[in-house]
Amino acid sequence: MIIDQISEMHRYIPLLPALGKVVEIVESGILDSIALGQYTTDDERVRYNVFTYGTKQDFPGEYEIHRREADVQILLQGSEKMDIAKRTALTETMAYDEKNDALMASGASLVSYHASDDTFALFLPGEPHAPNLTDSTFCEVKKVVFKILVD
What CATH number corresponds to the domain at position 103? Answer: 2.60.120.370
Q: Which residue range forms the structural domain that includes residue 104?
A: 2-149
The residue type found at 11 is R
Tell me the per-residue pLDDT of 8-45, one tens digit each, with 9 for 90 and over: 999 999 999 999 999 999 999 999 999 999 999 999 99
pLDDT higher than threshold 80 for residue 51: yes
Tell me the per-residue pLDDT of 110-135, one tens digit each, with 9 for 90 and over: 999 999 999 999 999 999 999 999 98
The one-character DSSP state at 27 is H
The one-character DSSP state at 59 is -
Task: Spell out the residues 6+ positions from residue 114 whose beta carbon is closer than 8 angstroms to its own.
Answer: 79, 81, 135
Secondary structure of residue 116 in the 3-state scheme? coil
First to last CA, the chain: 17
Secondary structure of residue 23 in the 3-state scheme? helix
Tell me the per-residue pLDDT of 75-113, one tens digit each, with 9 for 90 and over: 999 999 999 999 999 999 999 999 999 999 999 899 999
For the chain, how many structural domains are there in total? 1
Q: In the prediction, which pLDDT does 95 show?
A: 97
Secondary structure of residue 141 in the 3-state scheme? strand
Alpha carbon distance 105, 13 (integer Å):
29
Order across the sheet with 46-54: list the strands: 2-5, 119-123, 69-77, 140-149, 46-54, 37-40
With contact defined as beta carbons under 8 Å apart, do 128 and 84 qualify? yes
